A = this chain, B = another copy of it.
Amino acid sequence: MAKKFEHEIEVKGHLIDSLILTKIFDIIMDLNGEFQVQEFTVGKRKKDESYAKIIIQGKSQQHLNQILEAVYREGATSKIQQQIALKPAPKDMVMPDDFYSTTNNHTEVFYKAKWVKVENMMMDKCVVVKSNRAFCTPIRQVKKGDTIVVGERGIRVTPPERPREGVNLFQFMGSGSSSERPTQHIARKVAQDIYKTKKQGGKIVLVGGPAIVHTGASDSIATLIKFGFIDAVLAGNALAVHDIEYSTLGTSLGMNVRDGTLAIRGHRNHMQAINSVFKAGSISKMVQKRMLTKGIMYECVRKNVPFVLAGSLRDDGPLPDVLTDMTIAQRKYKEVLKDAKMVIMIATMLHSIATGNMLPADVKVIVVDINQPTVTKLMDRGTWQALGIVTDVGAFLPLVTQEIQKLIK
């Protein structure tokens, strides 16, 4: 047999439990490489980490490099550490050809003989190194001359551990999403998780779509905000418009929510709500002028809970509070998401995927939607840590709020 090109890598952590080793072996085999396990120490107790030293063999230096680059992304590191390669950005908003494209996992770069943490971690971005710090940077923020990491060397990725110890919500559900689960029990678990996260001072961000209002769950969300369980709200124009229609006119899509009758000229209520905000000048001015006295947006204003309304192509209006430029909206979303411990995404694929793209992989994400493909799609887009709950928002959220109210007492 021909000469082998080989390289030694090592990897540590909960290798078996968190599937890290499985993924590494998968990659080597998918790319037709070979491997030999040199050393393997398995954590003998639950909390112990495992360690593996593996020699990877390729058919050529290039083949070997390709395999190495792929396994580095999954948490492997070279035994002999090499410094990252850097190249300057040739122009504003242009990365060097061979730029390193980020994952949403915790990442470090080996720079000047030290491991430097990449700040502001998100997926599908590049890494800019500046005065001994490393920043995860979107392409549109790249400036000519920024020194950008290229290739895959000198990079250490740490996939998050799977949450363990006792049956918690995330374990309970498995990795998948299913509608065949005891709904009331799940609502209780979600409530406990919110309550506990908040008690420990964790930041909780809500991402929501208008179906919260259509399905009659807006009172539940307003209550959560009122009681201090939500630290920020990320949404679009529609959630705000429908919330304000419901809060000021009592209707959702023109139907009286109280008794299900059709409101007179109810078809106008949607536009009427939009007009009333323009008339006041903004949502917070509506609250000041006592034109808006309840609901999700009202509680946000009253409790100083920041909200960001990102525009979308399908907006009616949109409201004066809506950020119509996506570059600005993305930046504001990202600011609000900083240091979030838990993100609850409800009935909105657009804002959920957008938010998922901005989150590091170790933030807890709960996605609630009645449509299973929506949940699947979010996970397929890389937010694989998400816990998917396929349920009816209008019935589920009131249960969660009830459970939280029990916990408060």
Binding site for B on A (CB under 8 A): 16-17, 19, 21-22, 25-26, 29-32, 34-37, 40, 42-46, 52, 66, 69-70, 73, 90-91, 93-95, 97, 99, 101, 103, 124-126, 139-140, 152, 164-167, 171-172, 176, 178-187, 189, 211, 214-217, 236, 252-253, 255, 257-262, 264-265, 267-268, 270-272, 274-275, 278-279, 310-318, 320, 324-327, 329-330, 333, 349-351, 353-354, 357, 370-373, 376-377, 380, 390-396, 398-399
Q: Collect the chain B residues with CB atoms within 8 Å of residue A377's CB.
A: 180
A275 contacts which of B95, B172, B255 (Cβ < 8 Å)? B95
Given the contacts A46-B34, A180-B214, A184-B394, A167 and B262 also touching, CB distance less than 8 Å: yes
Contacting pair B327 A313 (CB below 8 A)? no
A392 and B376 within 8 A (CB): no
**Copies of this chain assembled into the complex:** 4
Which of A189, A215, A317 is most buried by chain B, counting CB atoms within 10 A of its CB?
A215
Which residue of A25, A152, A260, A320 has the most chain B CB atoms within 10 A of its CB atom? A260
Are B29 and A46 within 8 A (Cβ)?
Answer: yes
A257 near B185: Cβ-Cβ < 8 Å: yes
Complex contact B275–A94 (CB within 8 A): yes
Q: Which residues of B contact A265 (CB under 8 A)?
A: 66, 69-70, 152
The 3 closest A-B pairs by CB, nearest first: A183-B394, A395-B395, A182-B216
Q: Report yes or no: A318 in contact with B314, Cβ–Cβ below 8 A.
A: no
Contact B182 A313 (CB under 8 A): no
The residue in chain B whose Cβ has the minimal distance to the Cβ of A65 is B264
